[in-house]
Amino acid sequence: MANLRLAVAAVVLFVALVSPCAVAQLRTDYYASICPNLETIVRSSVRQSMAQSPISAPAALRLFFHDCAVRGCDASIMIVNSNGDDEWRNTDNQSLKQEGFQTILNAKAAVDSDPQCRYKVSCSDILALAARESVYQSGGPNYQVELGRYDGKVSTRDSVVLPHANFNLDQLNAFFSGLGLSQTDMIALSGGHTIGAADCPFFQYRIGDPSMDPNFAAQLRSTCNSNPNGFAFLDGQTPVSFDNAFFRNLQGGRGLLGSDQVLYTDTRSRNTVNSYAWNQGAFFAEFVTAMTKLGRIGVKTAATGEIRRDCRFPN
């Protein structure tokens, strides 16, 4: 019954977020005459943020998903409301790292420092570009980003519904289908966990699970017992490199989150995990496809959105 309710909610969400007219406005050359140096500016800014903190890349990538999966890709995750009723203060978003937000704010400031670009580029497009840069500058694919989004004007705490670390495959598929994404898309996007980390409360409950490698379990137990506020890398083999090691870890029972390891333990998704583990090129190609589809969700137009001067506050 719980899965049925989730599936129904997913269908409603999908209908609400899909707008063919808004998607049609997206183009990779949208800013060619408006802000011709946009991608160079964002690339340089993200590089500086990553040099200051290795957390910046995974934090910015995760921020993009947490934005698009709620009200669509409209940078509503960035809004700070004076009454405290905003997305980032929802319990499911409390683990988002400040470095991710700061990466976007830094890039926005860099873009607006160019007189030709000032106040002409949306925060949502900067977030999409910063997510790509986080992937590419960590060793992942360099792909074209569709642009032309407007920023949302609303952000509320109760609007946040996100997948949890203990979701099984049916729950994951129900959620992602609500975004118009397939199981393959979901698995490819999960590969974004090849960079980043998770705090002990997100995985401590499953230490010793039969699907977990015993040596890995012992390592995690030591980490969390010595420091309840500790963390572990989502990909302990190459934690700051965007590659396919994440999927090889799943094959060996070294998936940190339950929602990651289930992609291998459930035979319905195992073949895709194996494919990505054996062929990094296949993973990269399908990750790009999934990111492009994710970036089309809930796009705002000039009629429904705006270009924020400050990403934290509606104009």
Asked whether the CA dihedral 245, 45, 125, 16 is positive or negative, the reply is: positive
Torsion of CA 102, 107, 110, 115, to 10 degrees: -130
Residues ≥6 apart with Cβ < 8 Å to 229: 199, 200
Three-state helix/strand/coil letters over 136-152 = HCCCCCCCCCCECCEEC
How many Å apart are CA 277 and CA 263, to the nearest integer? Answer: 12
Mean pLDDT for the chain overall: 92
pLDDT reading at 16 higher than 80: no
Instruction: Report residue 169 as tokens.
Output: 């495959």
pLDDT reading at 5 higher than 80: no
pLDDT reading at 2 higher than 60: no
Does residue 164 carry a catalytic annotation? no
Q: Tens digits of per-residue pLDDT, 51-62?
A: 999 999 999 999
pLDDT reading at 157 higher than 90: no
Cα–Cα distances (Å) from 139 to 72, 128, 184, 225, 295, in that order, read 27, 17, 22, 33, 21
Q: Tens digits of per-residue pLDDT, 124-152?
A: 999 999 999 999 999 999 999 999 999 99
Using 50, 70 and 90 to split pLDDT, how confident is the model at 7? very low
Q: Tens digits of per-residue pLDDT, 239-287?
A: 999 999 999 999 999 999 999 999 999 999 999 999 999 999 999 999 9
pLDDT of res. 86: 83
Q: Tens digits of per-residue pLDDT, 220-236?
A: 999 999 887 899 999 99
Instruction: Report residue 254 as tokens.
Output: 């070294």
Q: Which of 43, 66, 132, 248 is catalytic?
A: 66
Q: Can you tell me which residue has the tokens 């090691």?
A: 245
Among 19, 86, 87, 92, which residue's Cα sits nearest to residue 297?
Answer: 19
Count how many residues are written for the chain.
Answer: 315
How many Å apart are CA 3 and CA 57, to the nearest integer? Answer: 33
How many Å apart are CA 20 and CA 194, to the nearest integer? Answer: 32
Instruction: Report residue 102 as tokens.
Output: 């700061």
Q: Tens digits of per-residue pLDDT, 192-219?
A: 999 999 999 999 999 989 999 999 999 9
Per-residue burial over 73-90, b if 16 or more Cβ lie within 10 Å, else e, is: bbbbbbbebeeeebbbeb
Instruction: Report residue 224 as tokens.
Output: 């969390």
Q: Tens digits of per-residue pLDDT, 283-315?
A: 999 999 999 999 999 999 999 999 999 999 999
